[in-house]
Amino acid sequence: MPAKSQPGNGLAAEWNLGESGYKTGMDANLRFLSAAVQLVLERSDKVLPTPPAEGMLAIAENGATIVGYKDGAWISVATPRVGWVGYDKLLGTHVHFGASGWGRPPWIEDAPVDGRRYIRKDGAWLEDDYRISAFIPQITQANQQVASFIIPVPMSLPNDASDCVARCQLPPPEETALILRKNTTQIGTITFTPGETVGVIDITGTADVAFAKHDELNLFAPSPITGVPEGIRILFRLEM
């Protein structure tokens, strides 16, 4: 009896033993499987590779057919079904066949490529920032090291100190600038003024401050001191 289309990808099967046409049908099956199993495409943008090489697979100009280069010509080898996933060698990423054709897989978009680290949350990419905080009850002497943080991985402190915060419970009687240091090098100040409970964080220079693994971010009291804020609370945000 004539072959029957099988569930799933529709391969032909169930010929009668010795039935004429088996070779043609089985060759079609094997061409189909060669394309559909672990599908790797030279490109999926409907532009055939030039010059082509034997065995290449690509998407035909109509966007609906997978073609292969065999014996000096492009031949149709499979019609993709919605849900198929292939690897596009030109893009270096997987592509997905949906109702509107080939495109990037819909389940996860690529994270931005800008040198930052990102985490995935609630279906979106978020910048992976590192936050550290400290509470300094009192400063008792000039040039006192009042806080110190060991940086666990390479990251940077933004030059504009965005999302960094400094507050105090009791403002100083006169302007006081605490010293920020990367290891032993000064990189900025945190200034508190009389009557103000919010300090101004100023990073020296125009570039972000890069920290290597196990560098230190240190905070020192000014020298000399005649009156300092009390109950200082500080939050630093660093970019990973």
pLDDT tens digits for 3-60? 787 787 788 887 888 778 888 888 888 888 888 888 999 988 889 998 999 989 999 9
Task: pLDDT band for 1, please (50, 70, 90 cuts).
Answer: low
Bigger pLDDT: 136 vs 36: 136
Mean pLDDT of the residues in the chain: 90
Predicted TM-score (pTM) above 0.85: no
H helix and E strand count, the chain: 1, 21
Task: pLDDT band for 106, please (50, 70, 90 cuts).
Answer: low
Give DSSP secondary structure letters for 113-148: -SS--EEEETTEEEE-EEEEEEEE----STT-EEEE
- Backbone φ and ψ for 125, nearest 5 degrees, come out as -90, 130
pLDDT tens digits for 72-83? 999 999 999 998
Specify the pLDDT at position 24: 86
Q: Check whether 149 has a pLDDT greater than 60.
A: yes
Task: Identify the CA nearest to 110 among candidates 91, 129, 89.
Answer: 91
- Backbone φ and ψ for 191, nearest 5 degrees, come out as -105, 130
Specify the pLDDT at position 23: 85
190: number of CA atoms within 13 Å, CB side?
A: 28
Residues 6+ apart with CB under 8 A from 170: 229, 230, 231
Mean pLDDT of 185-206: 96
- Residue 185 CA to chain centroid, in angstroms? 32
Specify the pLDDT at position 32: 87
